[in-house]
Structure formats: structure tokens, C-alpha cells
Structure 1
Amino acid sequence: MKSLLPLLFVFLIAFSCNNVKEAPALSEQHGGILRINMPYLPKTLFPPGVNDVVASQLVSQIHAGLVKFGASNTAIFPSVARRWKIDSTESIFTFTLRNNAFFCNNPCFKDGKGRKIVAEDVKFSLELLCFQNMDNNNFNLVSNIKGAKKHFEESACSKPEKGVEGIKVLNDSTIEISLEKPNPMFLNFLANPVCAIQAKEAIEKYGTANLIGAGSFTATEMPAPGKMMVLKRSENYFLQNNQNKPLPMLDEIHISFTESASKEIINFMNGELDLIIGLSQCEAQGIAEKYIEGLKMKPPKYILNSVPDSNVHLFNLQYPYVKDFYTNSMNYLDLSIVYFNKTDSLVKK
């Protein structure tokens, strides 16, 4: 019996290490508060209910899904799932989850510590999209999953006794999703922020007001009229940037909600915002004419860029100290990779 004790001790240490999230070491590039504006207050940040751009962009900061879009394009990248395979019929998707993907810390979890994401969380979250109720606007993204339509129809009267047939938990780190018919866009559907993975404990405690996710930032309050929304770095986020630096790079994001584009531009020029997202062609032209000197300076005082591959001509305006800020044609927004060039004299200390 004595000889088994060292092995038991090693096992307990290994088990403990797999279930405790350690805070990553930060570099000199980390830190800072990004100040941005959104044009309106979203009605909800409950992922299944999201049906507008602002809500989607906020949800993508505080939640994470199996896969994600690239920051500057629509390519699919791993997120909570570290890898996946598609069978020969192109209708069965098997996802393997990361061991280091955790929900953010919150009292809804034991001891207030965010726990590791398991396959049951993925099943629970995808099935939320298969309920027919006022809080779900996105059933169309999962309607091709085998048994999803049946579940959706039955849920109109009562909670179905069984889950969705095509969503199977193989073990804690593996989930299999079977489609009624092949769909080459299915990974793109899963990359949509509305397919965010949520914890059952969080939904039971907060309902559709849940802000507890596995994203790069955390939020404690819903956006409200006249109030700044503050997102803070999640200690539990699991992704790194291209230089293997832990994300997010920023400490906080402060978000105002001003509908007037002209007021937003004034706030930017007064140094109260670090960038402006999604200016129209007319607004961008006005800036180019009025602030041409600042745009043409070397180095420039302001940077005005068009959104690549956008169906509508949109532009982003930013100070040059803001690095790795991108938007794409899907209006997807990933602020986890944004950082400040702290040697720039314009950076707010």
C-alpha cells in the first residue's frame, strides 16, 4: 500500500493542474484601456436572442464558441475546440475541446472560480438555439442538425424529454454533431457569436441576462442609457496571439453609446475615443476633406481605412498607436488582439 502513495500524490497534482486555471504572465505590450463607441444600445446580449450588429460584436468579446472567424477575414479558426474532423459524408462533425478553456470567474460556480468547459456545455448551448421561444432568434443556424426541427416543434408546448438527436457527447472533451444533409457553411454558422458556449449554472442564475462566458473580456452589467459599459480582461482566456502572447492584450475596453456620428467624430478628434468603427462613405469623405493634414502627416496623426470585402463601403478611423485592430465583411469584431504602441506620445496613460 505504501508504494502506491507517491503515485496517488502525482495523480492528485496532475488532476489539480488540469482543473485550475493559472493566470498567464503578461508582457510590456499588455495593458491599456481602449475607448470605443457603439451607435446604439443593444436590446439583449443573450446569444440565442442576438439579431443586430452591436449585440453580436459585444457578445464576441465576452463569449466564445467552438470555432471563430479571423479578425481580418472570414476564415475559420479554432476557439474552444482545438481541432475537428468531418466524415466522408460531410455531415458528421467531431470536435475535440481544449483542456485549458475555462469560463470566467463568477459566483455561479463553485468557490467563484470559472470551471473548465466540457462537451455537455456545448450540447446545452446548442440546444438553447433549438427552443421555440421569444428569446431565440437564431434557430436557422442549427436547424440542419439531425433532430433539431423535431426538438424545436416539441418545445413550443413543453420542454422535450430528450435532447437533440444529432448532438452527442462522446466524452468530456469530445462532441459529435450530425447534420440532416451536408452543409459546407456549417462551420461558419458555428463561428457566429450566437453559437457561444454558455454554462448551465450561469443560465440558471441569470437567465437571459447572463453575461458569464469564456470570452477574452468579462462584463458585469448590461449596457444602459447614459452609462459607459466596461469590459475587463478575463484571467481565464485561453488563446494567444501570433507572437504566443496571452490574450487579451488590453486591460479594459470602455464603450460609450452615442447615436450621432458627428458627435462621435468630435469625441475622437478631442482624444476621447481611440477609434471609430464603421463610418459610412459620406462620413469618411467628410473626414478626409476636413482633416486631410492629419491624415497626410508622416507619420499620420489619424488613420482612415476601408473595411475589406464589405458589401457596403465602410471605414474605420483610428489613432496610429492602436495596433492589430481589424474588422471584416461579417462585421465580426475581435478586440482581444488589439494593443497599444506605448511609445506613441498620443497614448493615454
Structure 2
Amino acid sequence: MIRYSTVGLLYTRTCPLACRHCIIESSPKATEKMTQALASEYIKVVPKYSDQLCFTGGEPLLYYNEILPLIRQAKELGLGVSLVTGAGWVTLAKPHIARERIRLIKEAGLDALVVSWDSYHEEFSPPENALLVVESAKEVGLSVQVRGVMSATGPLPRIEQKLVSIDVKYQKQNILRLGSAATLPEDHFIFGGIPKTGGCGTIFQPVVEPDGKVYACCGPSRSSRSETSPLILGDTAHESLDSIFERATNDPILEAIATIGPHALFNLIKDDPELVGVLPIRERYTGICELCLDMNDVPAVVNKLRARVSESQVSRLITALRLYHQSSPELRAEVQCPM
């Protein structure tokens, strides 16, 4: 059975910000939220499938008083715990409140903090908000990194320069035309042909959303258009999270996405005569996630993929790559499939 690198709890879709690029489509108008009791039940399941738990959103720290005991619970179960924040909850007129909250989540057992900070966030939240959170985390010895989504114009140099000066890692990723970003003008995106990448490092980072839906990854998979897509793992309103994870960790398509990647899967079936006119092929892509979504949204394509990954030669390759990834997980994104 595959073990997840982390499990995400999207505690709320509510966010003080309404970023135009948000793949989750969070905003002040998005009202979905987990109950603390339900989140607690989810957390009890996580150790069976992962060593890591991440609180995300929306903005989980809008519900700081609920998140704090959940962090403690996760730590008591032996989990490493991280949290993603957009820093929109910060009040610069009262910086002591932000510092105190960061100190207390560290004392509760939080291992790592990820701060979302880029030009899109700055349209709604001043850079001083993010910087205050980053510096507060460093002051209490909390591991912190900043994550930014880049438009076609690239990152803001002053953000990178500031983070370099305080020795904080900046994890940058290109914007995808998904979620709220689907309505952005074309000049925000870098378009290209089918991305030729290796295994996907996020497909084994499932996320439970406030409505009970469970997705294979945080963000892209929630744009699935077909309820039968393998990227939609299940719904806790109808099935236990344990059952959903048990089934998903044994799904050969998800394992193939993680190991050989969507591009290799596409190559396995692109010349199949039965898929002529059925296999979705775009003229241009903003990322590999679009290819993955398109293939998994078509039941006939999914059936072909299941047949191909079950063939002995492909199955052996996937198994070999899985073992390699387990021994060298930091190299996952660098592996290129020979297919």
C-alpha cells in the first residue's frame, strides 16, 4: 500500500483575500468550513496513511482557537504538522497579536509554516503582513518557507530579495489556468505544448475539503469535471475517510501518475485507434495538471489507462520507480520516464 507524503485538511474556504489566481476559489464570500469535531475525526485516520498533516484553506488561522487544539491532537498521534497561511488575518496596528499566535501554534507542536506571498496576494494584503508572519516564525524557531504563484511576468524581485536577506526559501510555481485563474486574461499565463515531465510529486498529497469531498491533490484535482474521475477519491458524507484512503492508495492509475507521470500515461494511449476523437488534446497547456485532468475526466480514456498500467511491462516499471522514489524521495521530480 502506498503511503501519502502528507494529508491536507482544507479547514475552510473562507479567506480575507479574494486573490484572482486562487486555485481553491477562496474568498470572503466562500463560507464552507469544517467543524472542529469532524476535523478531529479525520485526524485520527491520518496516521494509518501518512506521517504528515497539513492545515490549509482558505485561511485556517481565521479559526485559530479551533486549529490550536487540532495541532496538539495531531502531534499526540505522532504526526508532523504544517499549516498554510495567506497572512490576511494579520492586523498591522496590533503586531503583538500575530507574534503571539505564531508563538502559540509553535508551542502547540506546529512543525512548519508556509506563507503564501506573491503579486496576487499583495492586491489584497500588504507585503508587511506576510513579512510579519515570516519574521515572527523565525523568531520562535518555527520552520518557515514562502510560496508564490508566478504570472508570465515572473516573481516580484523585491520579494525574492527580501527573503534572501532573511534566509527564507521562496518556492515559486507558474500559474495554472484553473480555479479563479480561469477568468484571468491570457497574458497572465505561459502557454506551451504538452509538458514533458516525470512523476507528479503532489498526487499523493490528498486533501479533504469542508464539504467532505476528498481529492487526490490540493487544488488542481478539484477542477475535475467528471464525478468518476480517479482524481476525486470519494466523499466522507457517504463513506468513511479510512475506506476512501484504503481504496485510493491501491489505485494503479494514481500510482502511475506519481511515478511515471501524466505525460508518460498520455504516450501509452495516444496512438490507440479506439481513442481517436475521444482522447482530449489541447492546442496549448499552462501545465501538466491540465493534461492529467483531461485524461481522467473521460471514462473511456480511464479504462484504457487502467488496462495499460496493468500490463506486466508497465507494471514492473511503475513498481521499480516506486521503490526508487521511496529510497530517494527528494529526486521524484527529477525522474524522467523513458516512455
Fold-level match, TM-score > 0.5?
no
- Higher share in helix: 2
Larger radius of gyration: 1
TM-score (norm 2): 0.28
- Higher share in strand: 1
More contact order relative to length (CA 8 Å, sep ≥ 6): 1
